[in-house]
Amino acid sequence: MPKMVFIETDGTRREVDAPLGLSILEVARRHDIDLEGACEGSLACSTCHVVVAPEWYDLLPDAQEDEEDMLDLAFGLTKTSRLGCQIRMTAELDGLTVKLPGAK
């Protein structure tokens, strides 16, 4: 099963199982990681904002215009920011690393 790494706001690294087809938001919820997702993944907020490690960013599908619009509202936006509800795990993303906003 693919794995992914979350870097929490206090800098703690958590490697977790990330089943194929689940979004980053769904993976976070399965492992009690503090990624809000207030709109339940319907692309109506930016509370599942994550910062993708630069070495992984180019492997992701491009953000669609709706995601980019929501990202404009996100706290701590970076060049590799994405919404966790819009990235689904694939075999190619095994090892994906993301930081929660505010992480060191």
SS3 sequence, 20-66?
A: CCCEHHHHHHHCCCCCCCCCCCCCCCCCCEEEECHHHHCCCCCCCHH
Query: What DSSP designation does 88 have?
Result: B
Residue 94 placed within a domain: yes
CB burial string 4-21: b at 16+ within 10 A, e below: bbbbbeeeeeeebebeee
Domain with 7, as residue range(s), is 3-99
The pLDDT of residue 19 = 98
The pLDDT of residue 104 = 47
Residue 89 placed within a domain: yes
* Statement: the pTM of the whole predicted model exceeds 0.85: yes
The pLDDT of residue 50 = 98
Residue 104 placed within a domain: no
> Is 22:89 a contact under the CB 8 Å cutoff?
yes
Residue 57 placed within a domain: yes
The pLDDT of residue 102 = 77
Which parts of the chain have pLDDT scores under 50? 104
Number of domains in the chain: 1
- We report the CATH number of the domain holding residue 80 as 3.10.20.30
Residue 87 placed within a domain: yes
pLDDT tens across 17-44, in order?
Answer: 999 999 999 999 999 999 999 999 999 9
Q: How many other CB atoms are there within 10 angstroms of residue 64's CB atom? A: 10
Residue 69 placed within a domain: yes
Length of the chain: 104
